[in-house]
Structure 1
Amino acid sequence: MSIITIADLLNEFVKAEVEILNQQNIKHPTTIGTMYEGLTATVLNKSIFQHLNLKVVRNSFINNCNTEFDVLLVEGKGKEIPYTDRFVYEPEQVIAIIQVKKNLYSKDIEEGYNNFRFLIDYYESKEPEKFVNKLFRDSFRHICQKDISAIESGELTQNERLIFHHLWIDASLPVRIIWGYNGFKSEYNFRDSFYDYLSKNITLDFENKIAGFGPYNFPNQIICGQYSMLKNNGMPFIQPLSKNGWWSFYVTSSYNPTYYFLELIWTRLTYKFEPLPLELFGEDLDMQPAYKYLDCRIKELDGNLGWEYNNILISDEDLKANTEVSQWEPTELDLAQFEIVTELCHKYEIDLETDADLESYVIKNGYSSLDEFVEKLKATGLVYIENGKLMLLTDQCQCIIQNGKFYAAENKSGRLTNWSLKELGKKKNEN
């Protein structure tokens, strides 16, 4: 069963159960909270794999942190709090944290955000697990389209260095989700309310800086009914930096929120418990609809460094119109790009300074210079340059010729193979 099928089934389950819970004539806040926390724990239990020593616990704690978290996905045993059904876990045992809200409105967003805001304080002194390095490396490659070794070679801009730092923290922290079952009636109002909260926490007095609003402080997902806010940190959702340094790190969507929920949890599990079968994600060819919401980049003001945010304004009508799932396609290349990427697949790197034939080859194939060729090839997201050498950004790049065109893509999940087989099937049906 594919991730999309499971997500659809879970979404229908959630809708039916929420309708039942909303009809309960109960006024006691703790009991109301317990009902929705129980539903969330049930959904999470239905989402995880049974052979990994995982456990879903409620109303429990991270060691040395005073916040009681509604639902935790943890590995191994915790320390039981005497005469309760609650536990304390070490930070490295916690895979995901979910804060649960029956209703998600402005005050609930603020409360949920604040519960996660300074979580880093309990992880900074901890030695990260081995999988964190790979998760971080892959996310940095996707976002900055450079390898993490660029931090040592000095080839990162100030903006990229700060993103490097923030992505490392994001990879080290658990998946953080706020799940509200009722709330705003439109995606537009959801976006507007969260931005209003952020705008009240802009630092205007540098003597009294407001901390806790860098990109890594944001939850990986905020759910409000059928709407989601999602972080494009490459774990797994991706949005590379623009040429002027803006990173569209937060998006919104009206697509099935349990699909995004599964993507977040399963992606973390596939890194932590390699080798889980990547077939879990199905063909991985559907591109779910989402709209850009918040851009960020580092900015210096009066000698102070901070994050500058740009709120992407989109009308209610346009948000409601974006509901179609699109199909993923590999990167289309011209002949010269295809030949060079194919060569990189075989020899890993090309020295741009010592390869005497490269410039004449690309000029013969229509480029005005080697610089123009390299910049256009870098724009594909398949390659990067470090110490004058052209190298692949992928782990298992493959090149194919299909329908008379040249393509290349990362294929470690089998995505390119699935796309190619699908295209062959279309051609066969046409004939």
Structure 2
Amino acid sequence: MIRTVSDLLSSILREELPKLDKAPVKHAPTIGDMYEGLSFEVLNRALPSGLGLRVVSGFARDSRGNLSGQLDCMVVRGEGEKLPYTDSYVWHVKDIIAVIEVKKNLHSAELRDAFAQLNTVSAIEHSYYQGADEELDDPHRSVAPSVRTFAEMTGKVAWGPQGAVTLPFEEKALLDVLVLEQVSAVRVVLGMHGFKSELAFRSSIVDYLERIVGNEGFGPASFPQLVISGGYSLVKANGRPFMTPLVDGWWPFYFSTPENPLRLLLEFIWTRLDELYGFHYDIWGDDLETEAGRGLLSFRAVRLNGRIGWEAMVSDVDGEKLNGMPVSRQWSPEFIRLEEFVLLERLRKERVVRFDDPGLLAWLDSRGVDFDSVCSRLLETRLVALSEHGLELIAKQCGLALLPTGEYVAAENSTGRLNRWVTRRFEESSERT
């Protein structure tokens, strides 16, 4: 379904954008209103019905009355305050699903302006969610999605039976950002037109980074989840929905792609809505093709000269190498051995397998397999993570299958993705025979 909707939205843009581009108007505010109006149309069509969601423009506020800058588009729930004699609203940050800054053309100057505008929302959110004024509007709200993303990224469990696990400074900083990303509004910069090449787009972000590095409060949360410049996008891998594991302690958190930008927009907004309301997995479609992002920025938390902050690293690639990278790849489950299959089956029943389980250790020894090597291979699946005493299942729904070839596979199956992959595999096998 997500591909169908994104294709529909893309067709709307292809049809309507030329009309706006040819409009005989030179008045800048009016031009801005036209492109914002088109964005409203696209967003309204992108939202599932029956949830009471709206698209408005105006300002974000916190419980103390602090306001953001004026925002082009906000996807909101609940009730806001309409400003007299205008079409603008003031909306509490807790009820804002997404914020979109719209630009006719997105180049370096507009990019910096959009970042600054969206960061006025971030400043209010950070103060609200980290302060004592937070209103528990949703008593059932859980940070479990962030804890699971942290486990997928690090291979470590951050929450045990007794509560939060003591983490090293660097990992605690990462978890804090992931939680903030989960509860905050999805921030998007939508440039209808923009850079002529993906390489130029990436360079503009690096230039922006060099301008602000060292600023107070600067870090991964300072970057929007999605930046669209015409046919290219910059995407944040914060686990909702895109996730990348740590590499030598670095978080590869920003990547570029020429993938359909409206599908990426839907992925971010629908993931947030799914965590709030719960969707049937059919909404994601077959989901057997995934984005192959081209890494751009990595971050890690550091202590330096008595100060705490974030260190950034740029993945520098030339245009030829960039153009040679794949845009997408076919999804596949993890191919595992019998020993991992047995442990995962046990984890599905008991959630935890202890390191000192004598029966398990004896069985593995009888097969000439070392327990540590089995653990290492299971951690690579991102279905399990290390706890204090053993391995813990972190997948929402761990799917397992035995193929006709005798091979064992495992994957997260909460959306039915593994089921669809196995069905397609059997169909292809039948066609060959």
Specify the TM-score bucket, using the shorter chain as the normaliser. Answer: over 0.9
d(CA) in 2 for partners of 1:366, 1:190: 52
Corresponding residue to 1:148 among 150, 158, 166: 158
The Cα of 1:344 is off from its aligned counterpart by 1.1
Q: Please, what TM-score do these two structures have when normalized by structure 2?
A: 0.92
CA shift in 2, pair 1:9/1:153, >3 Å: closer
> Equivalent residue for 2:237?
232
d(CA) in 2 for partners of 1:361, 1:378: 20
Q: What secondary structure is seen at the aligned counterpart in 2 of 1:200?
A: helix
Corresponding residue to 1:331 among 326, 329, 334: 334
Code of the residue aligned with 2:156 in structure 1: it is K
Q: Residues 370-381 of structure 1 correspond to what in structure 2 (within 5 A)? A: 370-381=371-382
Q: Are residue 269 (structure 1) and residue 273 (structure 2) matched?
A: yes
The Cα of 1:357 is off from its aligned counterpart by 2.9
The Cα of 1:99 is off from its aligned counterpart by 0.5
> Equivalent residue for 1:283?
286
Q: Are residue 100 (structure 1) and residue 110 (structure 2) matched?
A: no
d(CA) in 1 for partners of 2:12, 2:252: 32
Between 30-39 and 319-328, report the one with greater CA deviation.
319-328
Q: What secondary structure is seen at the aligned counterpart in 1 of 2:143?
A: helix
The Cα of 1:62 is off from its aligned counterpart by 3.3
> Equivalent residue for 1:207?
none
Corresponding residue to 1:160 among 155, 171, 179: 171
> Equivalent residue for 1:304?
307
The Cα of 1:336 is off from its aligned counterpart by 0.9
Q: What secondary structure is seen at the aligned counterpart in 2 of 1:50?
A: coil
Q: Is the 8 A contact 1:117 1:212 kept in 2?
A: no
> Equivalent residue for 1:83?
85
d(CA) in 1 for partners of 2:416, 2:389: 31
Q: Is the 8 A contact 1:227 1:252 kept in 2?
A: yes
The Cα of 1:428 is off from its aligned counterpart by 1.4
Code of the residue aligned with 1:218 in structure 2: it is F
> Equivalent residue for 1:185?
196
Q: Is the 8 A contact 1:117 1:213 kept in 2?
A: no
Q: What secondary structure is seen at the aligned counterpart in 2 of 1:357?
A: helix
d(CA) in 1 for partners of 2:264, 2:389: 39
d(CA) in 1 for partners of 2:309, 2:60: 31
> Equivalent residue for 1:256?
260
> Equivalent residue for 1:206?
none
The Cα of 1:153 is off from its aligned counterpart by 5.7
The Cα of 1:158 is off from its aligned counterpart by 2.2
Q: Residues 57-76 of structure 1 correspond to what in structure 2 (within 5 A)? A: 57-63=56-62, 64-76=66-78
Code of the residue aligned with 2:71 in structure 1: it is F
Q: What secondary structure is seen at the aligned counterpart in 1 of 2:396?
A: coil
Report the RMSD for the aligned CA atoms in angstroms: 1.9
The Cα of 1:38 is off from its aligned counterpart by 0.6
Q: Is the 8 A contact 1:162 1:298 kept in 2?
A: yes
d(CA) in 2 for partners of 1:132, 1:108: 36
d(CA) in 1 for partners of 2:48, 2:148: 24
d(CA) in 1 for partners of 2:206, 2:343: 45
Unmatched 5+ residue regions in structure 2?
none
Corresponding residue to 2:359 among 357, 360, 368: 357
Code of the residue aligned with 2:335 in structure 1: it is E
> Equivalent residue for 1:393?
394
Q: Is the 8 A contact 1:120 1:173 kept in 2?
A: no
Q: What secondary structure is seen at the aligned counterpart in 1 of 2:263?
A: helix
The Cα of 1:113 is off from its aligned counterpart by 0.8
Q: Please, what TM-score do these two structures have when normalized by structure 1?
A: 0.92
d(CA) in 2 for partners of 1:241, 1:66: 33
CA shift in 2, pair 1:166/1:153, >3 Å: closer
Q: Is the 8 A contact 1:120 1:169 kept in 2?
A: no
The Cα of 1:155 is off from its aligned counterpart by 5.1
Q: What secondary structure is seen at the aligned counterpart in 2 of 1:395?
A: coil
The Cα of 1:348 is off from its aligned counterpart by 1.8
Q: Is the 8 A contact 2:155 2:386 kept in 1?
A: no
Number of paired residues? 420
Q: Deviations over 1:330-383 (max 9, x none)?
A: 111111111111111122212212x1133343344343x322332232222121
Q: Deviations over 1:17-47 (max 9, x none)?
A: 2222112232111011101111111110010
Code of the residue aligned with 1:229 in structure 2: it is L
Corresponding residue to 2:187 among 162, 170, 176: 176
Corresponding residue to 1:213 among 206, 218, 228: 218
Q: Is the 8 A contact 1:382 1:392 kept in 2?
A: yes
d(CA) in 1 for partners of 2:213, 2:276: 36
Q: Is the 8 A contact 2:158 2:167 kept in 1?
A: no
Q: What secondary structure is seen at the aligned counterpart in 2 of 1:240?
A: coil
CA shift in 2, pair 1:66/1:333, >3 Å: closer
d(CA) in 2 for partners of 1:61, 1:100: 16
Q: Is the 8 A contact 1:248 1:292 kept in 2?
A: yes
Code of the residue aligned with 2:24 in structure 1: it is N
Code of the residue aligned with 2:431 in structure 1: it is N
